[in-house]
Structure 1
Amino acid sequence: MPASILGHALPWSESDYLALGETAQRIELLDGSLLIGPPPSVRHQVIVRGLTAALEPGCAAADRTLLPVINLRLNGTRILNPDLVVTAELDLTADCVPADPVLLVGEVTAPHTATIDRVLKPHLYATAGIEWYLLVEQESLSVNLYQLQGAHYVERSTTRTGEVLELAEPVKATIRPEELLP
């Protein structure tokens, strides 16, 4: 953990957070506090890579950008690092991707983040107005797709090993859970 975190006065500001730069841990800003976790496991990263491979052709065809592990600014006090985002706009000079142009956010659960990925992050992404939330359960490899309805997400599908998720929105993609791992 960077020494600059220890003893830092609360609350953390966006500029304080961004001054940390790249770290070995995954660090997110939530309402003036930091959420700190270990880097993703190899299995986690391979699943994210599989999702990226499934989504990338549809993103390219729809002139959308897919970004893995990026600073996503939900507001001035909330910056999260989702496993991937699909966005309609991209500013290459920005420190963060703003939530407004983000069409889909994806997370892969891990033992230390499962509750955050299932409960906290969907609430935060919904509050930011991101229409689609894709959640992969790492252990079972089920793929859960949620769509924003009002202020909350509603489940649109759960796809298990041996089944196929055919996305039509926000980009066209075919996701087969068993293909997320080699």
Structure 2
Amino acid sequence: MDVMTATHPAHGHPEVIVREGPYTVAERDAVPDDGLRHELLDGVLVMSPAPTPRHQRAVRNLTVAMDRALPGELEVFGSPIDVRLGRSTVLQPDVVVVHRDDVGELGIVGVPVLAIEVLSPSTQLFDLHRKKQLLEQAGCPSYWVLDPHLSELTAWQRSGGRYREVARVSGTESWTATQPCTVSLEPSLLLED
């Protein structure tokens, strides 16, 4: 088993632990609770530390904004909640919007209609590349990323089987999404207490 650890340059402690697999969902589910977040990206086990308060405020604000705007057949969850995309992939997006029928006993059992990540230094490479790619391949219609350091929100919409950037706003700029619901978002407000 190959283990890679990324360390935070300022703190010098492990930020992300990557275990090359291939691992299955059952093997990931059997990992003891060690206080880390466990995701399975196409057979690769990725473990990351708990997010910061600033990160969680943004997750809360996004979740509340989406909850207020969603139609009744859709539901929003803030992490941690498992999104199971097959035998070798379990993701935990920071915010996920799903059809109510796709909510199972152990997590989300269908493809989400929207996944949102709030970037953290320890996971941003996964969020911007591999996780985005896995959601795109699974057919998730929308993927958004909020970068708290740049106060920037970027949104992609799936078209022709690929994600296409549909919006990029920063600071006090506002963007009105129309999918999966109509909601206006401003990065600076999403990052407020």
- TM score, norm. by length of structure 2: 0.82
Q: How does 1:103-118 map to 2 (within 5 A)?
A: 103-118=113-128
Please, which runs of 5 or more residues in structure 1 have no aligned partner? 1-7
2:88 corresponds to 1:77: yes
The 3 A distance-change label for structure 1 pair 22 and 170 is farther
The 3 A distance-change label for structure 1 pair 162 and 9 is closer
Question: Contact 2:36–2:48 at 8 Å: present in 1 too?
Answer: yes
**Residue 68 of structure 1 corresponds to which residue in structure 2?**
78
Specify the code of the residue in structure 1 equivalent to 2:78: P
Which aligned segments of 4 or more residues in structure 1 are displaced greater than 6 angstroms? none
Question: Contact 2:20–2:45 at 8 Å: present in 1 too?
Answer: no
**Residue 151 of structure 1 corresponds to which residue in structure 2?**
161
Which of 145, 149, 152 lines up with 1:139 in the alignment?
149
**1:171 aligns to what SS in structure 2?**
coil
Please, which runs of 5 or more residues in structure 2 have no aligned partner? 1-18
The 3 A distance-change label for structure 1 pair 163 and 18 is same
Calculate the aligned-residue CA RMSD, in Å: 2.0
Count of aligned pairs between the two proteins:
173
Give a deviation string over 1:99-140, Cα, whole Å, max 9, x none: 33x210000111111111111111110000000001101201
Question: Contact 2:20–2:43 at 8 Å: present in 1 too?
Answer: no
Paired-residue identity, %: 27
The 3 A distance-change label for structure 1 pair 64 and 21 is farther
Question: Contact 2:103–2:109 at 8 Å: present in 1 too?
Answer: no
2:59 corresponds to 1:44: no
Specify the code of the residue in structure 1 equivalent to 2:76: L
Deviation at 1:93, TM superposition (A): 4.5
Greater CA drift, 12-21 or 121-130 = 12-21
CA distance in 2, matches of 1:93, 1:168: 27
Specify the code of the residue in structure 2 equivalent to 1:116: F
- TM score, norm. by length of structure 1: 0.86
